[in-house]
Amino acid sequence: MVLRDRILSGAVGFGARLPTENELAEAHGVSRVTVRRALGELERERLIERRRSAGTRVIYRPSPAPMTADFSGVLANLADMGRRTAVKLLSFDYVPAEGAVAQMLRAQSDQLLQRAVRVRSVDGVPFSYLTTHVPESVSVTFTKQELASRPLLELLERAGVKAEQARQRLSAVLATPDVAEALDVRTGSPLIELVRVVYGQDGRGVEHLHALYRPDRYAFEIELVRSGADERRAWEPVLRTHGQPTDEGSRDKPAGKAKPSRLKSLS
């Protein structure tokens, strides 16, 4: 379908008004029935919107290049992503430390945790749904407004927190209705799930992150090298410098072979 291809390529952009059914039928040499059927298909694909009084307009937005995260730069990637994306703060409150979150943060049962839910976007397209828990003793150093405009890791470091170690787990889940709405996907769509805990110098957790990513908008990658001798040769991650973004077209340069580390188990 010519019109479909033009919409997907961006030749007919978001918000553009389409000709009437009669005009389309005449331009393409087909019947109005054929045009109506074709427009119905485009509407089901969520490429156009038809309204009786307002006509037909394009609602499809071409997606930007997917974000890419480098597994070998866990903490540097956190701050870098925060600076390159837009954020919408959905909620900000305090909750008791309990369950798996408290256990992973090594928090006491009488502690309060600051919980925030945010959605990050690139060029207006949402790609991540983030739920963070931070100990109250740390979170009192920043405001709700600051969290809505600055990377959390940056705020933690401003508070004097030294992030020394992080542990993360990667899996996959299906989008619940509230997450699907926030990420502009259908309920039940597959999502990348990441759970990350950042620890300070004293070994206590300073941030628990539960992140859900759209797989069409976000990807994790790791560069590996073979090291060791003979039968002991194994794959190890390559460390990178992080002066440049890691999205497509501007990769960080490898900084050498990784030493055996906590990251090795993630490969």
Could you tell me which residues come within 8 angstroms of residue 20 by beta carbon, excluding any fewer than 6 positions away?
55
Q: Is the pLDDT of residue 259 over 90?
A: no
Burial (CB < 10 A; 0-12, 13-18, 19+), residue 226, is exposed
b/e 16-41 (16+ beta carbons within 10 angstroms → b): eebeebeebbeeeeeeeeebeebbee
With the C-alpha atoms ordered 121, 122, 123, 126, is the resulting torsion angle positive or negative?
negative
pLDDT bracket for residue 97 (50, 70, 90): very high
| Predicted local confidence at residue 200, as pLDDT | 87
pLDDT bracket for residue 6 (50, 70, 90): confident
Q: For 20-31, write each residue's pLDDT tens digit.
A: 989 988 988 899
| Predicted local confidence at residue 265, as pLDDT | 28
| Predicted local confidence at residue 136, as pLDDT | 94
pLDDT bracket for residue 78 (50, 70, 90): very low
| Predicted local confidence at residue 66, as pLDDT | 54
Tell me the three state secondary structure of residue 65: coil
Q: How far apart are CA 160 and CA 89, in angstroms?
A: 24
Take residue 257 and report the two structure tokens written for it: 């072979």
Q: Is the pLDDT of residue 244 over 80?
A: no
| Predicted local confidence at residue 150, as pLDDT | 86
| Predicted local confidence at residue 255, as pLDDT | 35
User: What is residue 56's DSSP assignment?
Assistant: E
Q: Is the pLDDT of residue 252 over 80?
A: no
Q: Is the pLDDT of residue 151 over 80?
A: yes
| Predicted local confidence at residue 7, as pLDDT | 83
Q: Is the pLDDT of residue 254 over 50?
A: no
| Predicted local confidence at residue 52, as pLDDT | 80
Q: For 31-50, write each residue's pLDDT tens digit.
A: 999 989 999 999 988 888 98
pLDDT bracket for residue 67 (50, 70, 90): low
Domains of the chain: 2-58 (1.10.10.10), 67-221 (3.40.1410.10)
Relative to beta strand 218-221, strand 67-70 is parallel
Q: Is the pLDDT of residue 76 over 90?
A: no
Q: For 175-218, write each residue's pLDDT tens digit.
A: 999 999 999 999 999 999 999 999 988 888 999 999 999 998 88
Burial (CB < 10 A; 0-12, 13-18, 19+), residue 153, is buried
pLDDT bracket for residue 65 (50, 70, 90): low
Residues of the chain with pLDDT > 90, as a percent, come to 37
pLDDT bracket for residue 129 (50, 70, 90): very high
| Predicted local confidence at residue 95, as pLDDT | 95
| Predicted local confidence at residue 173, as pLDDT | 96
